Amino acid sequence: MQDLVERTIAAIRPLDRRAMEAARARQPQLTKPWGSLGRLEELATQIAGITGQPMPRLGARAVITCAGDHGVVAEGVSMFGPETTPAMVRNFLAGGAGINVLARLVGADVIVLDVGVAAELPPHPKLISRKIGWGTGNIVHGPAMTREQAWAAIAAGVEAATHVIEGGSTLLGTGDMGIANTTPSSAMVAAFTGEPPARVTGRGSGIDDATLARKIAVVERALAVNQPDPADPIDVVAKVGGFEIAAIAGLCLAGAARRVPVVLDGFIAGAGALLAARLAPAVIPYLIAGHASVEIGHRVVLRELGLQPLITLDLRLGEGTGAALAMHVVEAACRILVEMNTWQGANVAGPLVADDDALTA
Amino acid sequence: MQDLVERTIAAIRPLDRRAMEAARARQPQLTKPWGSLGRLEELATQIAGITGQPMPRLGARAVITCAGDHGVVAEGVSMFGPETTPAMVRNFLAGGAGINVLARLVGADVIVLDVGVAAELPPHPKLISRKIGWGTGNIVHGPAMTREQAWAAIAAGVEAATHVIEGGSTLLGTGDMGIANTTPSSAMVAAFTGEPPARVTGRGSGIDDATLARKIAVVERALAVNQPDPADPIDVVAKVGGFEIAAIAGLCLAGAARRVPVVLDGFIAGAGALLAARLAPAVIPYLIAGHASVEIGHRVVLRELGLQPLITLDLRLGEGTGAALAMHVVEAACRILVEMNTWQGANVAGPLVADDDALTA
């Protein structure tokens, strides 16, 4: 397991500078004022660099929603009971959840990766079963999982993403399902960044003030009891993380290794991406922050990764919904580069003043 | 002309409160934590209120790109020459511009409404020819147009939108094309809001500091020479506006009168929407701010209209590009409401704590 992850990390290369330069050089030739499509232009350059194609065309795409349960749910940190995790997985497989609706709208498949749901899930064509455990241990009493389990959960993410990419996906979105999973995400982000738990712990599914205070105390206890070592990413995820969060890190690493852009969802995805980035900083240029979550710890994650979100619509659902919504923006950026006319092609006079900086930037 | 516009205004009704309440009441029944889709939930409620459908389903859609030229281009306020306006119209009709790419991606038709291009444009199935003049007068020397022309340009927008809606469109986007049109837009916004020209005049197509200083002075002179009366919206648009900006106001009014949501593009659309709102404040609830433009005056417009943009990607292209991109978000909001499973339908246990406020809000 560790070996697969390490091989995946070793396969990550820098972005393709030539493709990026070609993409960047094409923008001023398109029939629009220089720079007038703002972040769509930067995004198209990034996708060119990721894919190695100066004119990137995206085809099939998928959101991989990683699912797992959490022992810490016993501490009363969520609005929902643990039975909701498998019930929502069934909802995903039936096509009726938020992620299904938003994924359909961008033509993305929804694949569920079970790495730790505390229930038997019957086989389904859209379900990848790689259960590492029936939920994690309760992090206020001890570690969430063993180091071996952490590597195995990351490896499950790598394998799922690789399977989906080999099936033709050219764009990946990350999703999560796991009642109580903002709690380990907050613990991981606090451990990695040194931020106090109160600065990275939010209302998750919509808890009230009293529950939020309890949740912050739970994160503090989890850190005090487990003493995760921020310099050892596997120690952090094993002690205070979650199976599906580790799997999300695997999705990021596999996307990067295969030169497929990975659109992150919100806070839980961010915790997984932060784990991936601590294992392999070279993964970061392959990541796209789909949206800015309401969850307060998300801004810490984005700052830490140096990512700017594409969409800010006060979402906090998870499942991959923000990633699916943002796939439209990613597609738009690529289509602009590929489909727009050039000044020459359209036989339109360009700007009156030659701007050498813009042409050569 | 005036009569058509006045009848359109008289036909605007308040949003449908019952449809809005039904839409709002459905959100907590859907399989997601209450409020977890943030602004998508508010947006679905707004669309329900606009259309009168508690479960709104959007069908065909169109961006109407209003085109016109501006005498003030002679003052050297743009990066482009006036020959670019008809050239870009031809580009729109050939399907090669930014708006074509982004409209295709959301299944929207692109219709060009010529209300004042200073060139002969051959007939085309996607071109509505309603030329009020060959460009406006230069606003630093006198009025842009007569009051009759202003009414006629608004009426042309009303008629184009009505035509498109009668052809089946259920969602409208506003677009603009007109070299130098940020200059009259800034003059209109300054006149309507009392903001000093420097606070509402930006770099448009990407002008440098010296040109920006000249442009601000041009707006100041236009206001000093024409003395538009902010209490008389037709006086403002006739003296310092533009044909296509007036037409955009007509699109807004006709959409509202026909209960079709109108997605605004950026700053020029905002100037048109502000004109519409000054003629008929009841239009505002029918408007959706597609995006936040880089153009500095746009934030003043949005504040004045009380609208919050859906997307912030540093766009400043115009044509309707921000509106087209935002149509995906509008569609997503409606699909969530219509397509998601309910807790009962999915046989999933809902939140542990009953939240009566959320259920009855």
For residue B349, the model assigns a pLDDT of 79
User: Nearest residue on chain B to A34, judged by CA atoms?
Assistant: B206
The CA-atom distances, in angstroms, between B118 and each of B73, B80, B122 are: 12, 15, 13
For residue B356, the model assigns a pLDDT of 42
For residue A358, the model assigns a pLDDT of 41
What's the complex ipTM?
Answer: 0.95
**How distant is the Cα of B299 from the closest Cα of chain A, in angstroms?**
17
**How distant is the Cα of A99 from the closest Cα of chain B, in angstroms?**
9
Shared domain for A15 and A98, answered yes or no, is no
B 207-226: CB under 8 A from A: none
User: Which of B92, B101, B294 is best to mutate for the A interface (most A CBs within 10 A)?
Assistant: B101
Considering only CB atoms, which chain B residues are within 8 Å of A40? 313, 315
For residue A353, the model assigns a pLDDT of 57
Q: In this structure, what token pair is assigned to residue A75?
A: 């501490």
Considering only CB atoms, which chain B residues are within 8 Å of A180? none
The answer, for A102 touching chain B at a CB cutoff of 8 Å, is yes
**How distant is the Cα of A230 from the closest Cα of chain B, in angstroms?**
31
Considering only CB atoms, which chain B residues are within 8 Å of A298? none
- The conformation of residue A324, written as its DSSP 8-state character, comes to H
Half-sphere exposure of A263 (CA within 13 A, CB side): 34
Considering only CB atoms, which chain A residues are within 8 Å of B33? 79-80, 204-206, 316-317
Shared domain for B91 and B212, answered yes or no, is yes
A 125-154: CB under 8 A from B: none
One-letter amino acid for residue B201 of the chain: T
Shared domain for A89 and A19, answered yes or no, is no
| CATH number of the domain residue A244 falls in | 3.40.50.10210
For residue B285, the model assigns a pLDDT of 98
Q: In this structure, what token pair is assigned to residue B217?
A: 């002075």
Considering only CB atoms, which chain A residues are within 8 Å of B316? 33, 35-36, 38
Shared domain for A12 and A71, answered yes or no, is no
Q: In this structure, what token pair is assigned to residue A134?
A: 């029936």
Tally of structural domains, chain B: 2
Shared domain for A348 and A290, answered yes or no, is no
State pLDDT tens for residues B185-211.
999 999 999 999 999 999 998 999 999
The answer, for A55 touching chain B at a CB cutoff of 8 Å, is no
Shared domain for B175 and B107, answered yes or no, is yes
pLDDT of B353 above 60:
no
Number of A:B CB contacts under 8 A? 199
For residue B360, the model assigns a pLDDT of 35
Count of other CB atoms within 10 angstroms of residue A206: 19
Q: What is the DSSP code string of B7-59?
A: HHHHT-----HHHHHHHHHHGGGBSS-TTTTHHHHHHHHHHHHHHS-SS----
**How distant is the Cα of B2 from the closest Cα of chain A, in angstroms?**
35
Distance CA A169, CA A338 (A): 19
> What is the pLDDT of chain B when averaged over all its residues?
96
Of B88, B105, B310, the CB nearest to A31: B88
For residue A249, the model assigns a pLDDT of 99
Shared domain for A277 and A168, answered yes or no, is yes
**How distant is the Cα of A334 from the closest Cα of chain B, in angstroms?**
10
The sign of the dihedral angle between the CA atoms of A17, A22, A25, A31 is negative
Distance CA A240, CA A145 (A): 8
User: Nearest residue on chain A to B207, judged by CA atoms?
Assistant: A353
User: Nearest residue on chain B to A314, judged by CA atoms?
Assistant: B38
pLDDT tier at B359 (50, 70, 90 boundaries)? Answer: very low
Count of other CB atoms within 10 angstroms of residue A13: 12
User: What is the mean pLDDT of the segment spanning B170-180?
Assistant: 98
Tell me whether residue A357 is exposed, middle or buried, using C-beta atoms within 10 angstroms of its C-beta: 0 to 12, 13 to 18, 19 or more. Answer: exposed
A 296-355: CB under 8 A from B: 310-318, 321, 325, 328-329, 331-332, 335-336, 339-341, 345-353, 355
User: Which residues fall within 8 angstroms of residue A268, CB to CB, at 6 or more apart?
Assistant: A176, A178, A181, A182, A185, A244, A245, A248, A318
State pLDDT tens for residues B261-296.
999 999 999 999 999 999 999 999 999 999 999 999
User: Which of B92, B212, B314, B319 is best to mutate for the A interface (most A CBs within 10 A)?
Assistant: B314
Distance CA A241, CA A184 (A): 5
For residue A346, the model assigns a pLDDT of 85
State pLDDT tens for residues B2-40.
999 999 999 999 999 999 999 999 999 999 999 999 999
Helix (H) or strand (E) holding B203: none
Considering only CB atoms, which chain A residues are within 8 Å of B98? 30-32, 37, 336, 340
State pLDDT tens for residues B136-172.
999 999 999 999 999 999 999 999 999 999 999 999 9
Considering only CB atoms, which chain A residues are within 8 Å of B294? 38
Helix (H) or strand (E) holding A116: strand A108-116
Shared domain for A203 and A289, answered yes or no, is yes
Percent of chain B, pLDDT > 70?
A: 98
| CATH number of the domain residue B46 falls in | 1.10.1610.10
The answer, for B359 touching chain A at a CB cutoff of 8 Å, is no
Mean pLDDT by 10 residues, chain A (361 residues): 97 98 97 96 98 98 98 96 96 98 98 98 98 98 98 98 98 98 98 98 94 98 98 98 99 98 98 98 98 97 98 97 98 98 87 51 33
Tell me the Ramachandran region of residue B314: left when phi exceeds 0, alpha when psi lies from -120 to 50, beta otherwise.
left
CB contact under 8 Å between A341 and B94, yes or no, is yes
Shared domain for A18 and A129, answered yes or no, is no
For residue A350, the model assigns a pLDDT of 80
Shared domain for A23 and A89, answered yes or no, is no
Q: In this structure, which long-range contacts are made by residues A340-344, counting pairs with CB atoms below 8 Å and at least 24 apart in sequence?
A: A340/A30, A340/A31, A340/A32, A340/B96, A340/B97, A340/B98, A340/B101, A341/A30, A341/A31, A341/B91, A341/B94, A341/B96, A341/B97, A342/A26, A342/A29, A342/A30, A342/A31, A343/A29, A343/A30, A343/A31, A344/A29
Q: Domain of B48?
A: 2-56+337-360
CB contact under 8 Å between A101 and B38, yes or no, is no
Q: In terms of DSSP H, where are the helices of chain B?
A: 2-10, 17-26, 38-51, 84-94, 98-105, 147-166, 182-193, 197-200, 209-226, 233-240, 243-257, 267-279, 297-305, 321-339, 343-346, 356-360
Shared domain for A176 and A36, answered yes or no, is no
Distance CA B65, CA B224 (A): 30
User: Nearest residue on chain A to B328, judged by CA atoms?
Assistant: A328
Shared domain for A289 and A356, answered yes or no, is no
pLDDT of B345 above 90:
no
For residue A355, the model assigns a pLDDT of 47
Of A80, A325, A336, the CB nearest to B332: A325
CB contact under 8 Å between B349 and A206, yes or no, is no
